[in-house]
Structure 1
């Protein structure tokens, strides 16, 4: 074995409580204190190695060195993503399932999704114009729930919208949560899976027609490498893994609206959209605002990286937020500056708001394109196709809360169609 050196160690017998208290800043705080992009700590009674930066992301997504099986805690599987879902898979099984998800991301399907986003925004603006006050985050989550179900081919009655979007929101909100938020996530997981399993069963029995090319059709009839279909329960979980990330875009849209409010000069630039400013703005929202704090994997086999020995089975956390704010990668990372993306040299390992790696065969989020296009269309409405007032409110957010949200959830008043 190559000569190694000890991985810098974080103080403390177990730092789980520190992680809960510091949230997104837990790893960045220690990389600064220890002056290193890799350190060792203890979380939930086990050794964990934390990493940040482009080179850390590059090795983290090397499947010869890391596996996902056993990395996602059961409490997260039982809330956020579902047990034994694609995020927990490795190797050939993961690649086969990933191709299923990628098959839904055709240009035609993405164009259709954008049509649905546009139509739902038009309806929303009309509805909001009759309301004295709009709780923007809640309304946008419901808007994206409508979009998600239409695009996925999932039937959604009007009287189900609020409840189903609330359940999807509870799944998202359960990551990193303890107490009431965790239990809400568990309840929402059961309700969502029961609802979706009935729909999958109806498709398989011929009682419901799933439109061609939709996620519902693809998941209901997908055959695994062994030639067998997924159980109806597993198919339901994977349909939810299409719906939930689309609903989660509501968080980015809300932060985008806050960015427009806090940086009013960007509104005129977006309206003009010179040099593809809307793309830069969307990417900067995804870089700057907290979304996913970190992601985990386990060491597949012993290996040495940058002189450090990684032991088989060790839990490793890649710092998503810290990498997107890494001073070696981003000039003045704590400033909101969309123009930084004008000359950005794209890398799947330096900019990882929804995880990193390659799309086709790796673990990078298949829904990233969906996120970008939905955000662009939403910004078009916020800047050109509607007007609104922003009352005084607290739009700050806690860096300890994972995932975080603006405290006011962003309130707008006097919403009306725009003049453009």
Structure 2
């Protein structure tokens, strides 16, 4: 017997979606007490779903395929770790033929070293100019770091424009909906810049360290012995830049979590297991990428419900991470929920540590958290809210902070 899919009341819910952002999906499914609800946004029918079974469905490549218009939200990037769903980071690209040869263990160690250096520079700068906008600081720092790491030369007089363009490129949605035009313009400027660099490198007009990813990609030969085209090299560079810069948002929300839960700071300085619990709770609680988008390749029945061909399906990542049947008090930030339940606890993070077992995201979150715990702030009165219309998510009004001294505690 065919089970009808619950239909959200009303003709079109574009206004509701723009007002509520990605919270819209969870609110509707909670209201109907269903994990599958049909709706219409921007004039297009969609089925929104959540939960572990839905995760297995949207990752089934024979039944669904990524929605090409928003390929960055592909369900192929979805992963689950310790019950938390999120889009995979740079590690996902190990499936690409060139990736294992380009991103070696040494490259990961160099990335960690670069991030450490950038943090040390920022902390020194904050001693001179202690009033900062934290989100803007992290955006610029991560652009510098990823360019240093990839081997992309970036001039000081171009830094602000490059940072703005890369952040526009990373920002898939804004409060005005799908941010197509601004993102397209920013992407065009970045591509022209990178294509120019690749051409100059191949012509011998600029010199890049041969161990840098820009150099290795520019001269990488596929199985047939052909090097990648300029556009192919730039596409792969943009993929790495987007993944890396988007993951920096987790650092922003780690800082926000410390501001809103200051009582956790002392324990985080002494308890390595709790550091991992904290990081997993940040990923669960904030869900910077709130959903994945796919399209059915064929008609089929799932859980006795009919899915037609070419049907847009949205998997609600945030709703899954907040599912009331899975998480106790999901609206509360509580790292303790993971105590004794994590399947992997990494090694102590220090200059000599081996973080290869961690994803790149977790590796950088641990490293950055060690610096966040070394800094003390005065937090001016402000609204520390996150509007659901930003994807990747970020605090609505930045985070204004007054840095006043460095507490040299040991690294976590």
Same-fold call, TM cutoff 0.5: yes
Deviations 1:36-77 (CA, angstroms, capped at 9, x unpaired): 111222233332111111110111111122112xx132xx57
Match of residue 61 from structure 2: 63
Match of residue 109 from structure 1: 107
What's the offset of the Cα at 1:218?
Answer: 4.6
Q: Given the alignment, which residue of 115, 122, 125 partners 2:123? A: 125
Asked if 1:287 is matched to 2:284, the reply is yes
Match of residue 30 from structure 1: 28
Asked if 1:320 is matched to 2:317, the reply is yes
Are the equivalent residues in 2 in contact too, given 1:215–1:242 (CA < 8 A)?
no
Are the equivalent residues in 2 in contact too, given 1:144–1:249 (CA < 8 A)?
no
Match of residue 373 from structure 2: 383
Match of residue 338 from structure 2: 341
Deviations 1:241-299 (CA, angstroms, capped at 9, x unpaired): 2112222233221211111111011101111024x222221121111114112111111
Are the equivalent residues in 2 in contact too, given 1:128–1:416 (CA < 8 A)?
no
Unpaired segments of 5 or more residues in structure 2?
A: 78-91, 345-357
Name the CA distance, whole Å, in 1 between partners of 2:94 and 2:360: 21
217 and 38 in structure 1: CA distance in 2 versus 1, 3 angstrom threshold: farther
Name the CA distance, whole Å, in 2 between partners of 1:116 and 1:160: 20
Match of residue 270 from structure 1: 268
What's the offset of the Cα at 1:124?
Answer: 0.8
Give the count of matched residue pairs.
381
Match of residue 72 from structure 1: 68
Are the equivalent residues in 1 in contact too, given 2:171–2:390 (CA < 8 A)?
no
Match of residue 329 from structure 2: 332
Name the CA distance, whole Å, in 2 between partners of 1:168 and 1:19: 26
Name the CA distance, whole Å, in 1 between partners of 2:396 and 2:407: 27
Asked if 1:373 is matched to 2:363, the reply is yes
Asked if 1:414 is matched to 2:388, the reply is no
Name the CA distance, whole Å, in 2 between partners of 1:326 and 1:102: 36
Unpaired segments of 5 or more residues in structure 1?
A: 88-93, 348-367
For residue 115 of structure 1, give the secondary structure of its aligned residue in structure 2: helix
Name the CA distance, whole Å, in 2 between partners of 1:67 and 1:51: 16
Name the CA distance, whole Å, in 2 between partners of 1:220 and 1:168: 21
Are the equivalent residues in 1 in contact too, given 2:177–2:389 (CA < 8 A)?
no
345 and 255 in structure 1: CA distance in 2 versus 1, 3 angstrom threshold: closer
CA RMSD of aligned residues (A): 2.9
Q: What TM-score, normalized by structure 2, do the two folds share?
A: 0.83
Name the CA distance, whole Å, in 2 between partners of 1:18 and 1:136: 30
Name the CA distance, whole Å, in 1 between partners of 2:123 and 2:180: 33
Name the CA distance, whole Å, in 1 between partners of 2:270 and 2:5: 50
326 and 103 in structure 1: CA distance in 2 versus 1, 3 angstrom threshold: farther
- After TM superposition, the structure 1 stretch with the greater mean CA deviation from structure 2, 398-407 or 307-316, is 398-407
Are the equivalent residues in 2 in contact too, given 1:394–1:406 (CA < 8 A)?
no
For residue 68 of structure 2, give the secondary structure of its aligned residue in structure 1: coil
Are the equivalent residues in 2 in contact too, given 1:297–1:316 (CA < 8 A)?
yes
What's the offset of the Cα at 1:237?
Answer: 2.6
Asked if 1:301 is matched to 2:298, the reply is yes
Name the CA distance, whole Å, in 1 between partners of 2:93 and 2:114: 29
Match of residue 354 from structure 1: none
For residue 38 of structure 2, give the secondary structure of its aligned residue in structure 1: strand
Asked if 1:178 is matched to 2:176, the reply is yes
For residue 402 of structure 2, give the secondary structure of its aligned residue in structure 1: strand
214 and 338 in structure 1: CA distance in 2 versus 1, 3 angstrom threshold: farther
Deviations 1:360-409 (CA, angstroms, capped at 9, x unpaired): xxxxxxxx82221111111111113x333222222122234444432331
